[in-house]
Amino acid sequence: MNLPAGLWFILCLLTSFYGLGLSSSAVTISNNGYSGLLIAINPEVPESSGLIDAIKEVWTNASKALYTATKQRAYFASITILVPKSWSMGTYQSAGKETYNAADVLVAYRNPVYQDQPYTLQYGGCGEPGTYIHLTPSYLVNDSFVNIFGPKGKAMVHEWGHYRWGVFDETPTYGYNSFYQNSLGQIEATRWENVEATRCPVNLKGEFKVIDYSTGTARDCQRNVQNRLPEDGCVFLPYEKQLSNLTSSIMSNQYVEKVELFCHNEKIDPYNIHNKEAPNEQNRMCNLRSTWEVILDSSDFANANSPNVAILDTSPTFHVVKLTSSKRHVLVLDTSGSMGWKEGLEQMLQAVSIFIAQFVPIGDRVALVEFDSVAQKLTNLCTIKDETSREDLLNNLPTTAGGNTCIGCGLEKSLKILEEGGEDPTGGNIVVFTDGEESEYPFVNAVADQVLQAGSVVHAIFFNTNSNDDLKKLVVDSSGIWFYGTDVNSILGAFETLSSSNDGDVYSKTFQVHSSTFDVDKNSIFSGIVDIDSTVGNSTVFTFTWGQYDAQVHVVLQHPSGCSYSTNLVGIVDKCPGQPLHKIDSTFKVVNFPLPGTADPGRWRYYVSSTATSSQTVVASVTSQASDQTKQPIVVSSGLDKTSAGTGEAIVVYAQVSQGFAPVLDANVLALIQQPDGTVKELELFDAGGAPDVRANDGVYSRFFTSYSDSGSYGVRVRVSKTANSIKATHVAGSRSPVNLGTIKSDGSVSIDPEGINYVRNDVGLSIETGNFSREVTNEGFQYIGQAVTKTDDFFPPNAVKDLKAEQKSLTNSESGVALIFTAPGDDYDQGTAFRYELRYVINNVTQLADAFENCTLVEDTDVIEGNLTQPKAAETKETFLISNNFPFPMKGQVTLGFALLAIDESGNRADPSNVAPVAYLYSPPVVIQPSTKGDASRVVATMTSLAFLTVVLLHYIY
């Protein structure tokens, strides 16, 4: 079948990015075996052959456990371990395309909240892969952690569930209640009536205990009079011996010996069925679906990789490789005739000159190629050693434009450069800068296979053009990144991203802390401010470019102390030491101020004026590196949930703000979306827990983008800032391996691991103090292939609510009603204000809300005591409703109510239903009766056998 180039590119994008979320993983599965798993060791980790051996042992066990957990559907066939480039004592192969930034598993220093606890950074929703798994060297080599998190192989399968399949914890992580009121009551010897521990399945048996870690003892929990649940500090301890038919769940209690599988929804095995009533992230994010249902629906297993019992050896093949000491960049520059229009050549050369002069790290190698009707090598690969080597490259940049466009010629020439001297072109970066369609053979599609076979990585910067889908496809196929820009600012950001370290060394990374584009009129002065924080300061450069005219701009740079540097050599009253500091490049119209030593933290100011007769456009950019290796710099990373969208589809923009592995909260995060016509849309990102944000206060900010001006390419930059008067917030922990706090032995005694106390109260922590700071990052671009969005069009529904919570207003007053709390959706996803809400409920069988929302009972306006179903609040604000208790059931005892809602816009577009929010509603005041204080575990285990049949009957009734 022959497809048009544009449609073929779109299909490739959808295939390449579907379901990947923010993950850049190269993992594939074929014949039940995962290949391409990359485990990268942070450069701060000392070299250790013992660590390599531990990684191999842990993941060999993980492969065996995965094969069991997936019921013979998957195992790890091959794994690559990437060691830092500083490691020298071992024998390592050279890495190809492997980079630290693209790793599936990071082996690095402790997270301040998780400590040595394995966890997964999860940005996306249900079924969307995570970003990485984080393991510490201590966890990998220290066998004592088996007592806390269970066998390491099973713990890795738990994290793989988060990372690969986008399932969530079934334990009470992230502030969920450890206990809840069961709709049918619990058959339990501890006589806690309707109280259940949050876990999966409910047939995992145990007791409720308060642990005294100072003495290593435990006592039975008391009842909280206010809510009838166990007192604060009470935990669920499973029995050491469970019934033989208990096999799940890996996402709940992987440390229990008999737990090997995932909770499911298969009635043929009701003993291990998913617990849909438990208050946990899996039920909220996946709307009561079991982890096994989500896993089987993934692309790994939906139509492939059926169970294979013939696999006798699940041991992976390991490859240990080391990063090369430098990166190779071949800049392939378009100098065709069209680049001579509208200052295209000038802006390209300005950005390229700054890339060479400031961004390329010492030790990296750069070559230059230009192309028009043919391609010409301007330089070989030159190692950046000092200012002289940078100047040599700058002196070879092209200066004229003319002729046709042969991008294929440029690609062929760049490959020859990467292969010179018998070098392996694998992993070499080819950066194509172009503004238009091809017009000379060979075209990109004619040389694409040659490039891919060579293993080179192609990146592209599309300047003022939406053309050349073949080049975009080659970028995607070679694991590169493409950018879209219409000015020097956006191009600079693309080069900053491409020059960034890919080895995990944040101390040598160049951060863009400021960028601004502004116009300066004759006889006027433009002023700007830049906050330099204490985590950066080395190699700081203030850069200013100008265009349109040869008239140089004049800049005054003011130090936080008040002294100044200036391009004017006279008239400066309070000169800083070292004045004059600036360097002017009249050829490329660039002036920069390289600050000596470590820049002092604080608020810097710049003042720009011009002698041009007309308004002059100026771009200001400030870059800096970490101040020292004793303090982690503040880092911003950004991504998209996909890179292609059609009519009615939104693009989710994410940004993670962190210092080390600690999240930075209460930051101002702004996405700048550059549209095909060059205009920029601003989109504020939030970390408040409303969709698409997975959880509040975890340092991950996100938002839906729907304001497409037209079909074509879109560029994305993210600007982050924070001021000293920001709120001091608490950050939360998310997806991680559950902790074994202790077990109940067969004789009724309690076995407690004293180290477990370190992981009991680590759900929240105070946010770090950062002071004023700013950062900017440029993201990959995305393609919109749908209709232009006008004011009269309404293609987008409101977003689905993902944080609906329900609770009885007063447990002692049966007339009090039910309070509902959630984040308001918008008119177009999370933009604007919805038209009205549709709220429904069920009694006891809460799964009906997930299975058939429209068939559940509608809450009428007259049932609402507080709030208004027909007047929603603006998106991202908190909604609170109070629903009367006019529910059709006997006014006594207890029932479980379930609520869900959706928003509708003025055009009738309906959101997907929200998460289901269950609540145990008490019609009788709590009876203060303490449970039995003696737990005879041997009697309970015996009793469980006789009660198993009744439990099965009850579970069939529920589901």
- Close Cβ partners of 361 (under 8 Å, ≥ 6 residues apart): 327, 384, 499, 501, 508, 510
99 vs 924, higher pLDDT:
99
The beta-strand segments (E) located in 675-740 are 680-685, 700-705, 712-722, 730-732
pLDDT score of 434 more than 70: yes
What is the pLDDT, as a whole number, of residue 763?
A: 53
Mean of pLDDT over the chain:
87
Rounded to 5 degrees, what are φ and ψ at 773? -155, 165
The SS3 assignment for 687 reads coil
User: For strand 712-722 and strand 668-674, is the pairing parallel, antiparallel, or unpaired?
Assistant: antiparallel
**What's the CA dihedral at 358, 360, 364, 366 to 10 degrees?**
-100
Instruction: Compute the distance between CA of residue 436 and CA of residue 656 in angstroms, rounded to an integer.
Output: 33
Q: Which region among 34-48, 104-118, 778-792, 863-877 has the lowest average model confidence (pLDDT)?
A: 778-792
pLDDT at 6: 39
Note the pLDDT of residue 899: 96
Mean pLDDT, residues 738-752: 91
What is the per-residue pLDDT across 845-890, written as a single tens digit (0 to 9) for each?
Answer: 888 999 999 999 999 999 999 999 999 999 999 999 999 988 876 5
**Consecutive H or E run containing 387:** helix 387-394
The two tokens of residue 221 are 């929990």
Q: What confidence score (pLDDT) does residue 936 get?
A: 39
Question: 407-419 and 444-454 are packed helices; what angle lies between their axes, rounded to 10 degrees?
Answer: 20
Q: Given this model, what pLDDT does residue 181 score?
A: 81
Q: In terms of pLDDT, which residue wins out, 565 or 488?
A: 565
Q: How would residue 148 be classed by pLDDT, with cut points 50, 70 and 90?
A: very high
**Stretch 503-516: mean pLDDT:** 91
- Here the tokens at position 446 are 């004619």
| Distance from C-alpha of 672 to C-alpha of 668, rounded to nearest angstrom | 13
Instruction: Identify whether the C-beta of residue 408 lies closer than 8 Å to the C-beta of residue 371.
Output: no
pLDDT at 937 over 50: no
Helix (H) or strand (E) holding 79: strand 78-83
> Are 202 and 276 in contact, with CB atoms under 8 Å apart?
no
pLDDT tens digits, one per residue of 456-495? 999 999 998 877 889 999 999 999 999 998 888 888 889 9
**CA dist list (Å): 103 to 107, 208, 371, 858:** 10, 40, 35, 48
* Residue 60 identity (one-letter amino acid): T
* pLDDT tens per residue, range 392-405: 999 999 999 999 99
- Scan for tokens 């409720």, then name that residue: 208
* 285 φ/ψ angles, rounded to the nearest 5 degrees: -75, -35
Provide the 3-class DSSP secondary structure of residue 806.
strand
CA distance 70 to 260: 9
Q: Which residue has the tokens 């070098």?
A: 423
The one-letter amino acid at 705: F
What tokens does 491 get?
């191009």
Higher pLDDT, 734 or 453: 453
Q: What is the pLDDT of residues 214-254, one digit of tens each?
A: 888 899 999 887 777 899 889 999 999 999 999 999 999 99
Q: What share of the chain is helix, strand, coil (3-state, %, to 5)?
A: 20, 30, 50
Instruction: Look up 159 and say whether it is catalytic.
Output: yes
Is residue 691 within 8 A of residue 800, CB to CB? The reply is yes
> What is the 8-class DSSP label of residue 230?
B
Distances (CA, A) of 931 to 205, 207, 224, 513, 741: 16, 11, 11, 59, 21
Closest CA to 904 of 794, 742, 770, 767: 794
Q: Is the pLDDT of residue 502 over 90?
A: no
Residues 282-323 pLDDT 10s: 999 999 999 999 999 999 999 999 999 999 999 999 999 998
Query: Which range, of 167-181, 247-261, 271-285, 641-655, averages the lowest pLDDT?
Result: 167-181
% residues pLDDT > 90 (the chain): 65
- Determine contact, residues 305/74, Cβ cutoff 8 Å: yes
Catalytic option among 47, 57, 98, 159: 159
pLDDT of residue 767: 59
**In the structure, what pLDDT confidence band is assigned to residue 755 with cuts at 50, 70 and 90?**
confident
Q: Which two tokens stand for residue 652?
A: 């989710």
Residue 926: predicted pLDDT = 53
Per-residue model confidence (pLDDT) at position 396 = 96
The residue among 889 and 408 whose pLDDT is bigger is 408
Residue 731: its pLDDT value, please?
57
DSSP letter assigned to residue 124: S
Is residue 667 classed exposed, middle or buried when 0-12, 13-18 and 19+ CB atoms within 10 A define those classes?
Answer: buried
pLDDT tier at 726 (50, 70, 90 boundaries)? low
Cα diameter, the chain: 96
CA distance readout (Å), 876 to 423, 647, 729, 866, 916: 54, 24, 18, 19, 19
Average of per-residue pLDDT across 900-925: 90
What pLDDT digit, counting tens, does each position of 589-615 carry? 999 999 999 999 999 999 999 888 888
Provide, rounded to the nearest whole percent, the portion of the chain with pLDDT above 70.
90
Q: Give yes or no for residue 5 having a pLDDT over 50.
A: no
| Contact (Cβ atoms closer than 8 angstroms) between residue 286 and residue 294 | yes
Identify the weakest region by mean pLDDT among 89-98, 408-417, 524-533, 914-923.
914-923
